[in-house]
Chains A and B, each alone.
Chain A
Amino acid sequence: MSGWNRKDLLAIGDLSAEEITLVLDTARAFKGVGERSLKKVPALRGKTLVNFFVEPSTRTRLSFELAAMRLSADVVNMEATASSLRKGESLKDTALNLEALHADIIVLRHSSPGSSHFLASRLESSIINAGDGAHEHPTQGLLDVFTMREKLGGLKGLKVAIVGDILFSRVARSNIAALNKLGAEVILVGPSTLVPKVFGKLGVKVVHRIDDVLESCDVINLLRIQHERQRREYFPGIGEYIALFGLTKARADRLKPGCLVMHPGPINRGVEVDSDVADGERSVILEQVTNGLAVRMAVLYLCSGGAPLQPAKPSREVSR
């Protein structure tokens, strides 16, 4: 019998297809909470969640904060600029202090890949990875597949194109892991500097022309060009990137009927995607935001339960 008994969510790469599906099913139930008149359930009452963001973020932090509030947890936000990390305190010491204050859940965003694994193996608290460098951003990957499944019915056999800055993208890595496990076909699209051939080893197709995938894909997921991680030499200029890889109005018209246009945000309007397309009828960009809240509620709920020491029991026969 499938079930969940993890305290942490660190990477989709760690999860089985059954665990991913369990999160998606649970998220569907939590999406319903947002549609009630009373948008709050008591599942995490008395728990404390710390949003520990060493890298800046607005939507992910806000989404985790709202998710925790809707589950009745108490939330504290902590940002690197306003913390003792600036005084040279190590990540581990800062986190141990959070644990000494009885933080039950720590949501960590950090620029170093593996930072959430590092904390998870040293702390009793639940650690939720909200993005670790260019490694993974598991809740983004889960909300993307949740949106695809909800809109298109299932994932098996879907052709999903991920376009743009794959090299630096944790969103891409989490998406690839989730889509591979759920049986979708992934096609990475971008200049060879940003989508090196080595990605083929992850079991995905690599192409270097967006025009090759427009007519055949069921989903086109556009990643943000990360100016803050870019060095100049990856492509000659924004103008050339738009000409070769931007989802312009003309290109969007060639997408097949029902194809979803996705973007993890924040959008560079007129770069990865034209404004008209981002706001157009194929776009599910804002639904991704709504679904992200439901997925994060599901993740917080699942990681707060499941005392790992107890043997698995069929749910009906546990105490009623």
Chain B
Amino acid sequence: MQDKDNTTLAMDADAIRKAIRRIAHEIVERNPDPSTLVVAGIPTRGVEIARLIVSHIEQIEGAKPELGVVDVSMHRDDLATRGRLTAVETTYLPVDLDGRPMVIVDDVLFTGRSCRAALDAISSFGRPSCIQYAVLVDRGHRELPIRADYVGKNLPTAREEKIRVRFESIDAVPDSVRIVRAPL
């Protein structure tokens, strides 16, 4: 179903909520003690998804993982080609990472370069016992040997297409994931 604005709805608010809840269940299954877990989002929308995952885990298990923010922009390898820059968010990791399991969370997994940068950023804060990776959408086209441990939805895309993720809390429009077709 293609809309007039050249986008296709891939997930609506309900589908997003269910996918995030399922991811929370899978995380709990693999990490028996959620109180030691650190769930860190990559700004901007990865932080929102991480926040939702943490509140689901708290509902499921009664124990709350630590919520963090990992900024990756200082650790990317493509600064000179990134076009217009926006403000860098502050990395916030409330606890010592050493020996704790960690889940990094992002909205879209594409080339894998954000994830590489996140791993690099985390290594300058500490040494988690393991790092897992959760994404709302995996759209393919990896440029690095990286895969996600938890995937909300696999969305095969063409390279020229874009994935637009929106959250009501950030963008003031209903939660949605849309595929933006390449201009003809």
Contacts and interface: CB of A to CB of B under 8 A. Distances in A.
Contacts of A306: 82-85
Interface stretch (A23-31, A129-137, A211-219): A23-31
A37 B125 contact: yes
Interface in B73-121: 73-91, 106-111, 113-114, 120-121
A44 B180 contact: no
B164 A316 contact: yes
Contacts of B108: 316, 320
Interface string A1-40: 1111100000000000000001001101110110011101
Contact of B83 (A25, A304, A318): A318
Contacts of A45: 77
B89 A41 contact: no
A301 B74 CA distance: 8
A312 B82 CA distance: 10
Contacts of A29: 71, 74, 87-91
A43 interface: yes
Contacts of A32: 90-91
A25 B87 contact: yes
B165 interface: yes
Contacts of B107: 316
A317 B162 contact: yes
A315 interface: yes
B88 A42 contact: no
Given A29-B87, A38-B124, A315-B86, A301 B111 contact: no
Interface in B40-85: 44-45, 71, 73-85
Given A33-B74, A42-B75, A43-B75, A320 B83 contact: no
Contact of A317 (B44, B91, B180): B180
A237 interface: no
Given A32-B91, A316-B164, A307 B83 contact: yes
Contacts of A318: 82-83
B164 A320 contact: no
Contacts of B45: 316
A154 interface: no
Contact of A320 (B84, B89, B111): B111
A30 B180 contact: no
B71 to A, nearest CB: 6
Nearest to B71: A29
A41 B109 CA distance: 23
Contact of B125 (A26, A36, A305): A36
A30 B107 CA distance: 24
A218 B119 CA distance: 43
Chain A CB within 10 Å — which of B82, B109, B120 has the most?
Answer: B82
B46 to A, nearest CB: 10
26 contacts: A5-B84, A25-B87, A29-B90, A29-B91, A33-B74, A36-B124, A37-B124, A38-B124, A41-B74, A41-B121, A43-B74, A43-B75, A44-B79, A45-B77, A71-B74, A301-B74, A301-B79, A302-B85, A310-B81, A310-B83, A312-B83, A312-B84, A316-B108, A317-B164, A320-B110, A320-B113
Q: Which 6 A-B pairs have the closest CB atoms?
A: A3-B84, A25-B87, A320-B110, A38-B124, A310-B83, A29-B88
Given A30-B74, A36-B124, A43-B76, 10 more contacts: A29-B71, A30-B88, A37-B125, A38-B125, A301-B74, A301-B85, A302-B85, A305-B82, A317-B180, A320-B106
